[in-house]
């Protein structure tokens, strides 16, 4: 059973640029959630995708967008990058919304630095 | 507004002793709580959960206690081992929602 894989592991972007982060969900999972973890903070919910549709969204502006593909993998896109977007971006897969004895399975994250 | 709070940023415990990590929440609608452990350069790993119909859940060395009236939960690790050294996050959700609210984490250091 493979876990959640995220790519790239690190990247550096310039303010104003656009970035795409990728996530392959754990085998058997149909739901992907994205979280942003700023330094010294807990993960904050960005959005969740279920069956290729956005299933809920946190308090993030529209320049944060996503996709889920038929194989349940997912992308997070961020346009017009700002310095405050620098953070660890975590992808989590689950079967359903994540409530249950096992919660999410997280990937190792993508560390984004905006300069 | 921080709905889930972990007021201790760090904790040091001797190997073999008990580690107690605390978490407070403000939203009385939360009905499901989890603890995650995070090592550097890795994603959070699920540790243990508890639903609001229980006040205790055990899994090996890990026990989570829930006090709904105080809106407080705690994670007990007995006995603590050096491999338990990590950042621990509590998270909460409520039925029908699709997201977890995480605390800011507590860094546990178990001293050999």
pLDDT of residue A98 exceeding 80: no
Query: Burial level of B66, CB count in 10 A (0-12/13-18/19+)?
Result: buried
pLDDT in tens, chain B (112 residues): 689 999 999 999 999 999 999 999 999 999 999 999 999 888 999 999 999 999 999 999 999 999 999 999 999 999 999 999 999 999 999 877 778 999 999 999 999 9
Query: Phi/psi of residue B15, each to 5°?
Result: -55, 135
Residue A101 has pLDDT above 60, yes or no: no
The pLDDT of residue A27 is 86
- pLDDT reported for residue A100: 59
Residue A81's Cα: distance from chain center in Å? 16
Predicted local distance difference test score (pLDDT) of residue B8: 95
- Put simply, the answer to whether B46 touches A105 (Cβ < 8 Å) is yes
A16 or A39, higher pLDDT: A16
What is the pLDDT, as a whole number, of residue A97?
65
Spatial separation of the C-alpha atoms in residues B86 and B84, rounded to whole Å: 6
Question: A104 pLDDT band (50/70/90 cuts)?
Answer: confident
Chain A residue with minimum CA distance to B49:
A101
Write out residues 20-49 of B within 8 Å (CB-CB) of A.
Answer: 32, 34, 36, 41-46, 49
Strands A10-13 and A110-114: parallel
**In angstroms, rounded to a whole number, what is the distance separating the alpha carbons of residues A34 and B92?**
16
Say if the Cβ atoms of A33 and B98 lie within 8 Å: yes
Rounded CA gap, B38 and A26, in Å? 18
Inter-chain residue contact A103 with B45, CB threshold 8 Å: no
pLDDT at B95 (0 to 100): 78
Q: Which of A25, A29, A39, A43 to mutate to test the interface with B (most CBs of B within 10 A)?
A: A43
User: CA B50: distance to chain centroid?
Assistant: 10
The span from the CA of B27 to the CA of A36, in Å, is: 22
- The percent of residues in chain A predicted with pLDDT above 70, rounded, is 93
pLDDT value for B99: 86
Does residue A98 sit at the B interface (CB-CB below 8 Å)?
yes
Partners of residue A43 in chain B, C-beta under 8 Å: 44, 89, 100, 102
CA pair distance A92, B58, nearest whole angstrom: 24
Condensed to tens digits (0 to 9), the pLDDT of residues B81-105 reads: 999 999 999 999 987 777 899 999 9
Residue B66: closest CA among B88, B85, B92 = B92
Q: Which two tokens stand for residue B32?
A: 């499901």
What's the rounded Cα separation, in Å, for the pair A55 and A75? 15
């Amino acid at each position: 059973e493979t876990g959640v894989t995220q790519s790239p592991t690190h990247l550096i972007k310039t303010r104003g640029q656009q970035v795409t982060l990728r996530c392959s969900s754990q085998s058997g999972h149909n739901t992907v959630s994205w979280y942003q973890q700023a330094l010294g903070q807990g993960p904050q919910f960005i959005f969740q995708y279920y069956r290729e549709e956005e299933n809920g969204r946190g308090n993030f502006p529209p320049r944060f967008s996503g996709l889920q593909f038929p194989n349940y993998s997912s992308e997070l896109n961020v346009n017009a990058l700002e310095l405050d977007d620098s953070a660890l971006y975590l992808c989590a897969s689950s079967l359903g919304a994540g409530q249950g004895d096992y919660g999410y399975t997280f990937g190792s994250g993508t560390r984004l630095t905006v300069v | 507004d921080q709905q889930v709070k972990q007021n201790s940023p760090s904790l040091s415990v001797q190997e073999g002793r008990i580690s107690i990590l605390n978490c407070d929440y403000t939203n009385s609608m939360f009905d499901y709580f989890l603890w995650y452990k995070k090592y550097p350069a890795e994603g959070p790993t699920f540790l243990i959960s508890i639903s609001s119909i229980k006040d205790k859940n055990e899994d090996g060395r890990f026990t989570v206690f829930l006090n709904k009236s105080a809106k407080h939960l705690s994670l007990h690790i007995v006995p603590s081992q050096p491999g338990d050294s990590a950042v621990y996050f509590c998270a909460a959700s409520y039925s029908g929602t699709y997201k977890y609210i995480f605390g800011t984490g507590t860094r546990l250091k178990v001293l050999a």
